[in-house]
Amino acid sequence: MAMSLIDTELGRLHVQVHGAGPPLVLWHSLFLDSRSWCGMAEELAASRSVVVIDGPSHGRSEPIARDFTFGDCVTAAERVLDSLALAGPVDWVGNAWGGHVGIQFALRRPERVRTLTTIGTPAHGLRAVERWTKAWPLVQLYRIAGPNSLLMKPLSDALVGAEAQSAVPELAATVMSAFTDADRVAMFHAIRSMMLNRPDMSADMRRLAVPTLLIAGRDDTTGWQPADAHEVADTMTDATVTAAPGSGHSSPLLLARDAVTAAVQEFTRYPV
């Protein structure tokens, strides 16, 4: 495994490269970091060159104390690929936020994306009631008090899910420690930029030309279950939906990593 910090417009991003072969990129969920892949990168690296990116202000990437856009994330991702001399198309796998970045990357740089896989990635933006009664108060609470107990319970439920907290508590705690360890000012800007200001991407997904795999949690509490994914997939050129266990956006990675890995391997397989 090779590790490096790569200069981008969103600060220096921490990047790990596992294995060798056709390139596959992993970008994690908002609030978390690359530990949330729970060993998936190493499994995929048996036959692939797996590029694991810690998003801006997350994990071991440099904290930046300003707001940024999805366009900025696309530019930063492209800078990473250029720095690694990956000129050809990659298979992009994104969890939640990573899926949103992947949608925008595939839309704006279609020549650089071979396939797109999203895991727990809602197409819709925050609904008004969610924004003002749930998300905005929690973000302001975080800004004032940091990752306190009032914030951690609903966030853990939305990300790793109650099932994972019960079934694999140590793993769930490790995954959530990415949030508790983060730089507060930088994380606040990231949350405001990428969650509160995230647009509805349903129309963007209809415009995607790349083959797309949508992995959705069967009990996702945020309103992105397999039926919701099917509704969006039906409007797309080439989209497949796979159901996975869990009620949080990242639950499938903690509860069914082997099945998710197999689905990604099958979907991104190169012709013999």
Delimit the domains of the chain by residue range: 2-267
Q: Residue 229 — very low, low, confident or very high, per pLDDT cuts 50/70/90?
A: very high
pLDDT tens for 198-225 read 999 999 999 999 999 999 999 999 889 9
Rounded mean pLDDT of 64-70? Answer: 97
What is the mean predicted confidence (pLDDT) over 220-235? 95
Residues of the chain with pLDDT > 70, as a percent, come to 100
To the question of domain 2-267 being in CATH 3.40.50.1820, the answer is yes
- Which of 96-100, 218-222, 230-234 is predicted with the least confidence, judged by mean pLDDT? 218-222
Please say if the pLDDT value at position 150 is more than 80: yes
Is the pLDDT at 228 greater than 90? The verdict is yes
pLDDT average, residue stretch 67-90 = 97
> What's the chain's average pLDDT?
96
The pLDDT score that the predictor gives to residue 128 is 79
Helix (H) or strand (E) holding 24: strand 23-27
Quote the longest CA-to-CA distance of the chain: 55
Distance CA 42, CA 54 (A): 16
Distance CA 41, CA 35 (A): 10
Least reliable range by pLDDT among 132-141, 175-184, 245-254:
132-141
Phi, psi of 157 (to 5 degrees): -60, -40
H or E stretch covering 229: helix 226-233
Reply yes or no on whether the pLDDT at 50 is more than 80: yes
- pTM comes to 0.97
Q: Percent of the chain beyond pLDDT 90?
A: 90
pLDDT score of 239: 98
The answer on pLDDT for 34 being more than 90 is yes
Model pLDDT, residue 26: 99
* Cα 124 to Cα 129: distance, rounded to the nearest angstrom: 13
Strand-by-strand arrangement of the 212-217 sheet: 2-8, 11-18, 49-53, 23-27, 90-95, 113-119, 212-217, 239-244
The pLDDT score that the predictor gives to residue 45 is 97
Amino acid 272: pLDDT: 73
- Does pLDDT of 133 surpass 80? no
**57 φψ region: left (φ > 0), alpha (ψ -120 to 50), beta (else):** left
Asked if residue 204 lies in contact with residue 107, where contact means CB atoms within 8 angstroms, the answer is yes
Question: What does the pLDDT read at residue 127?
Answer: 81
pLDDT at 271: 87
